[in-house]
Amino acid sequence: MSEDLLEDQAYSDFWLNKESLHEYVPDGDIGDDFSIDLIQLAAYRRIVSNFIVILTGMDIPVQFNSVENSQLSFTDGKTVYLSSTIRNKKDFDWTVGIALHEASHILLTDFDVFHSTFSKIPIPVPLQLKKKSKDKNISEEQLAYVCKWVWNYVEDRYIDSYVFNEAPGYRGYYKAMYEKFWNSSTNSKALQSDAFKVPNLLSYEFRVINMTNEDTDLDALPGLREIAELIDIDNIFRLDTTAKRMDLSYKVVELIVDNLAKQEEQKPSSNATFQKVSEKLAEKSGKVPTQKFNQPIKSKEEDSGKEKGEEDKENDGGEKTYSPDDAGDISDFSGEELKELNKQFNQQRNILDHKFDDIKTGVTREQQSVLEAIENSDIVLVPTGYGLTGDYTQAAVDSVVVKKLSKKLIDAGKSIFPLAAKDRNAPGALGGPVKRYEDAVVKGFTLGKMLGKKLQIRGEENHIKYIRKTSGKIERRLLADIGCGIEGIFNRVRIEKYNKLRLHISVDASGSMQLDTKWCPTMTCVVAICVAASMVENLAVSVSFRSTIYSKANGSELPYIVLAYDSKVDKISKVRHLFPYLCANGATPEGLAFESIAEEFIIGKRSTEQEHYFLNISDGEPAYALTPHNNRYRVSLNYTGEIGALHTKTQVDKIRAKGVKILSYFIHSDDYMSPVSMPGYNFGQVSKNRQLTYRQMFDKMYGKDAQFIDVENVTDIARTINRLFLSKE
């Protein structure tokens, strides 16, 4: 890869803003519970998957590395694995770079050629090369290792040049990968020093795989410049097949062997059993055993056991021999620098061999299970509450938005879905829906059929006939008027056709709605509207429920919004089967919830052929509190009273300003409301006087759009909704 390419910039900061990537992400363990980190990991997996599809045109699976499968291999050419450290901003770019690199292998590498060569032990190499290697005391294992890393190096340079050439927008990710693993200050210092100038296997490996570093010294070893000219990275596209790249690799290996000094003979492995196991594993995986060659970098004195200054070993004929693992003069490096150099060198080896044990962080089986639930339900984080803490550039809290409700999500339990309600005594291992909730839904279907008839106007065309016109179509019954000299015997018909309607219903599912005298009528009303909409051709309805979720992993209570039904993609049977499992639970994030779903669920894509409406159903003012427990949320938030009401009103006004017509139902009850439960807060039992205050606050938030009706009365529902639909404002 040429130097000018490495200077291009295209980092994630260009597009991955605070709506996608958070500045404050914990650096510790993720934990196995539902958490912000796991939601973020799922989002990043989707992002990288999209990158890979764009780059390769292939639907390549992207998975997270698991602890049980920590060694990542891409020799199957099927899957790309990600590190969980991608959630940290500093690790995002280089991790994406590796993912794109591996996906490009799947696109460009002929794995049949790879397997036919490296699955055999010993690997097939030209006889001349074998003879030269034997003359230099290089064993078949050592030769196999050299052939493997040289081929990987050539193959990787071809692939990286391809991505740089074909997808310039991804260069920033590659630059980050190179800066981390090839162009670090530690590697640069080693390349400029007298280290790795011993003509042995270790030195050639280090110097060749670091030739893309701008501090490389092509005169550090015999033949190194010739090797660089042979590879000729700037013209690497001439090697347009895997077979051509492999042929070139053998030529590079031959140059290395030609310029090597004679190596010290290596003693056979003392652990013969281990070696046999290693070879058997290699036969199955197509890998060459490399464990014995990845030794720590050490000086020749450390390697041979000689005191410093002692002469190099000589063989019987007086010819000098060199240890294959002697790093040469490393006197310029401290112990810590050598430790870092060893680490980075092994990382480079792992990348070339597609093994990322020491640079990849995995996720556990439990985390994989939660990730699967998050991804299947399309759960995302949406920053909300800008300005609530005094800083209008920073969100106050992340709202958890679930874009797809399923029975599987409900079965996952309250740790992931806080609105799950089940009767544990019902048949079935997981329990069935609560009977009274099911009855409320069934009642909603009955009322919905009645309501649908009252809303049929929205799906009809109005034909208005105007008679006694001087032109148009003849009105036959007026023909007799011709004899009286009347000319207006024609009619004209004007057709009035309504635009398509899009109604979003947002339901307060907080703890104060738990009373059966509130929740059951609310569910009946919502179901009735959904059923009625299914009977009207031009009316589409979607429903979301808003609450909060407490996560032990985050130590925080967060707004939680779930899109439970969308008539554009869901059948009405979903309402019948899943809504009985929903209950009210948690706090009331009100305006924060509206802010998180406004653009996608409420406002949506505007067009002249579709009108948008918003129906809110709730029982009063916001009641939510955020207590910071980690470095993501550094300021507490008391989202109650005037603060919450004013923010909610602001969000409602913003929605209204976008041309969305609004209606808001107040849910009341003669019973006392249940206590609101939030960590660190105890609001106690709410009195009837307080309920009156809630009603007044409700009126303040929604103004003229507030309605105080019986939500189980079909006439009231039809009257208010038709008034909303027919409003000219």
pLDDT of residue 272: 36
Residues 482 and 511 in one domain: no
Residues paired with 402 in a beta bridge: 379, 562
The stretch 476-481 carries a mean pLDDT of: 64
pLDDT surpassing 80 at residue 554: no
Are both 316 and 429 inside the same structural domain?
no
CATH of the domain at 437: 3.40.50.410
Picking from 443, 477, 497, the residue at the C-terminal end of a domain is 497
| DSSP designation for 181 | H
The pLDDT-based confidence of 187 (bands split at 50, 70, 90) is very high
Question: Is 357 a domain residue?
Answer: no
| Residue 588 and residue 575 share a domain | yes
Specify whether the backbone of 704 is left (phi greater than 0), alpha (psi in -120 to 50) or beta.
Answer: alpha
Same-domain pairing of 571 and 671: yes
**423 close to 431: Cβ distance less than 8 angstroms:** yes
Which structural domain, as residue segments, surrounds residue 176? 3-266+288-303+312-352
Instruction: Indicate whether 369 belongs to any domain.
Output: no
475 and 591 fall within a common domain = no
Q: Using the 8-state DSSP alphabet, how is residue 568 labeled?
A: T
Lowest mean pLDDT among 21-25, 36-40, 171-175, 269-273: 269-273
> Could you count the other beta carbons within 10 Å of the beta carbon of residue 462?
10
Q: Could you tell me if 215 and 235 lie in one domain?
A: yes
State both tokens at 235.
């013209």
Residue closest to 658 by CA, chosen among 619, 708, 602: 602
**What's the rounded Cα separation, in Å, for the pair 443 and 435?**
12
97 Cβ partners below 8 Å, 6+ apart? 170, 173, 174, 175, 176, 177, 178
Query: What is the structure's pLDDT at 661?
Result: 93
Output the pLDDT for position 47.
82
Top pLDDT among 411 and 74 is at 411
Whether 642 shows a pLDDT value over 50: the answer reads yes
Using the 8-state DSSP alphabet, how is residue 333 labeled?
A: -
Contact partners, residue 267, CB within 8 Å, separation at least 6: none
Confidence of residue 677 (pLDDT cuts 50, 70, 90): very low
Residue 272: inside a domain, yes or no? no
Tell me, what's the pLDDT at 24?
A: 39
User: Which residue intervals of 625-713 are DSSP H helices?
Assistant: 641-657, 688-702
CA angle, residues 405, 44, 394, in degrees to nearest 5: 90
Instruction: Give the C-alpha separation, 547 to 470, whole Å.
Output: 63
Which residues have CB under 8 Å from 179's CB, separation 6+? 94
Report how many domains make up the chain: 3
pLDDT of the residue at 497: 64
Identify whether residues 485 and 609 lie together within a single domain: no
Q: Is residue 274 part of a domain?
A: no
Q: Which pair of tokens denotes residue 468?
A: 């006694």
Whole-number mean pLDDT of the chain? 79
Distance of CA 192 to the CA centre of its chain: 41
pLDDT in tens, 362-371: 777 788 888 8
Bridge partners (DSSP) listed for residue 281: none
321 plus 428 within the same structural domain: no
Looking at the predicted structure, is the pLDDT value of residue 4 above 50?
A: no
Exposed e or buried b for every residue in 181-215, given b needs 16+ CB within 10 A? bbbbebbbebbebebbbbbbbbbbbbbbbbbbbee
* Residue 185 included in any domain: yes
Using a 10 angstrom Cβ sphere, with 0-12 exposed, 13-18 middle and 19 or more buried, the burial of residue 479 is exposed
Determine what percent of the chain is predicted with pLDDT higher than 90: 38
- The reply to whether 368 falls in a domain is no
Q: Angle at which helices 171-181 and 335-352 pack, to 10 degrees?
A: 140
Residue 122 pLDDT > 80: no
Q: In terms of DSSP bridges, do strands 490-497 and 461-469 run parallel, antiparallel, or are they unpaired?
A: antiparallel
Higher-pLDDT residue of 1, 81 = 81
- Same domain? For 137 and 106 the reply is yes
pLDDT of residue 425: 67
- The confidence score (pLDDT) of residue 121 equals 63
DSSP β-ladder status, 473-474 and 490-497: antiparallel
Same structural domain, 485 and 569: no
| Residue 581, token pair as written in the block | 């499992």
Percent of the chain scoring above 70 in pLDDT: 74
The average pLDDT across 613-622 equals 92
Of 240-254, 278-292, 433-447, least confident by mean pLDDT is 278-292
**DSSP label of 676:** P
Segment 328-383, tens digit of pLDDT: 999 899 989 999 999 899 888 888 887 766 666 777 778 888 888 888 899 988 98
Question: Partners of 461 in the beta sheet?
Answer: 497
pLDDT computed for residue 430 by the predictor: 63
Q: Tell me, yes or no, whether 330 lies in a domain.
A: yes
Nearest to 60 by CA among 110, 114, 102, 113: 102
Does residue 568 have a pLDDT over 90?
yes
Residues 125 and 163 in one domain: yes
230 and 118, same domain (yes or no): yes
The DSSP H or E segment spanning 347 is: helix 335-352
| pLDDT score of 390 | 81
CA 429/CA 425 separation, integer angstroms? 9
pLDDT for res 12: 56
Q: How many CB atoms lie within 10 A of CB 553?
A: 20
**pLDDT value for 704:** 87
Q: Please report whether residue 560 resides in a domain.
A: yes
398, 381 in Cβ contact below 8 A?
yes
Query: Residues 504-509: what's their mean pLDDT?
Result: 96
User: Would you say residue 477 has pLDDT above 90?
Assistant: no
In contact, 65 and 72? CB cutoff 8 Å: yes
